């Protein structure tokens, strides 16, 4: 796996069963290597934070927010991330957390967190304009249920998980806007 966003973009240089090794090159400092412990999924991803300064690493579903110029870990998030979708109109990344809910990260931090949509996974994900649609697993009825997610607001219509007071997820990026 290798990314080619720019000379300063991070790139994966090795995979060890429980660790992913990333080389980071920064315009202000020499290149350096970081080792990131894998989480609970098989999903690996490396890219720039929408703020274009920080680096995001997802190693086996475990997320890391890295400040490359200081070579420091700013925060961890996720643990069971299953995917990342780039949503260009808002300059955002949308994380699929555990196949249960989504979260949007923009240049200024977390933009929204959806309510829980599925009991256990998504299927047939499609983006048209500002709407992400797909199927959410309904464990109670052993079937898939359609849903629509507004990528600008995080509002959900449909899905398989009942809407309730405990359906909002905590903010893994540590923003004060929870």
Q: What angle do CA 72, 10, 92 make, to 5 degrees?
A: 90
Confidence band (pLDDT; 50, 70, 90) for 12? low
Phi, psi of 90 (to 5 degrees): -105, 5
Last residue of a domain, one of 64, 79, 94: 79
Q: Give me the mean pLDDT over the 99-124 stretch.
A: 96
The total domain count for the chain is 2
Q: Are both 67 and 53 inside the same structural domain?
A: yes
- Report the alpha-carbon angle 7-13-14, nearest 5: 165
Last residue of a domain, one of 27, 44, 79: 79
Say if 172 falls within a structural domain: no
Looking at residue 164, what is its pLDDT? 62
Task: Clarify whether residues 90 and 151 are in a common domain.
Answer: yes
Domain-embedded: residue 22? yes
Query: Are the C-beta atoms of 99 and 118 separated by less than 8 Å?
Result: yes
* Helix (H), strand (E), coil (C) string for 2-53: CCCCCCCCCEEEEEECCEEEEEECCCCCCCEEEEEECCCCCCCEEEECCCCC
Q: Specify whether 126 is located in the same domain as 149.
A: yes
75-84 average pLDDT score: 94
The predicted-structure confidence for 58-72, as pLDDT tens digits, reads as follows: 999 999 999 988 889
Task: Assign 10 a pLDDT band (cuts: 50, 70, 90).
Answer: low
Strands 122-128 and 109-113: what pairing? unpaired
- What is the pLDDT, as a whole number, of residue 30? 80
Residue 96 sits in a domain whose CATH number is 2.40.10.480
Q: pLDDT > 90: what percent of the chain? A: 67
pLDDT, mean of residues 81-97: 95
Which of 43, 63, 79 lies at the terminal end of a domain, its last residue? 79
141 φ/ψ sector (left φ>0, alpha ψ -120 to 50, else beta) = alpha
For residue 63, what pLDDT is reported?
96
Residue span of the structural domain in which 127 resides: 80-164
- pLDDT of 178 strictly over 50: no
In a domain, 88, yes or no: yes
């Amino acid at each position: 796996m290798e990314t080619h966003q720019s000379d300063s973009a991070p790139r994966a240089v090795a995979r060890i069963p429980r660790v992913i090794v990333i080389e980071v090159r920064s315009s202000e400092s020499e290149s350096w290597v970081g080792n990131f412990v894998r989480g609970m999924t098989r999903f690996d991803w490396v890219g720039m934070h929408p703020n274009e300064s920080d680096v995001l690493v997802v190693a086996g579903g475990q997320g890391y927010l890295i400040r490359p110029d200081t070579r420091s870990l700013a925060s961890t998030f996720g643990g069971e991330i299953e995917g990342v979708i780039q949503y260009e109109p808002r300059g955002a990344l949308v994380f699929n957390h555990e196949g249960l809910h989504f979260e949007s990260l923009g240049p200024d931090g977390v933009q929204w967190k959806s309510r829980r949509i599925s009991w256990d996974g998504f299927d047939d994900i499609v983006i048209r304009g500002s709407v992400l649609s797909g199927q959410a697993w309904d464990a109670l009825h052993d079937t898939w249920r359609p849903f629509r997610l507004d990528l600008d607001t995080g509002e959900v219509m449909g899905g398989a998980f009942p809407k309730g007071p405990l359906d909002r997820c905590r903010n893994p990026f540590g923003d004060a806007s929870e």
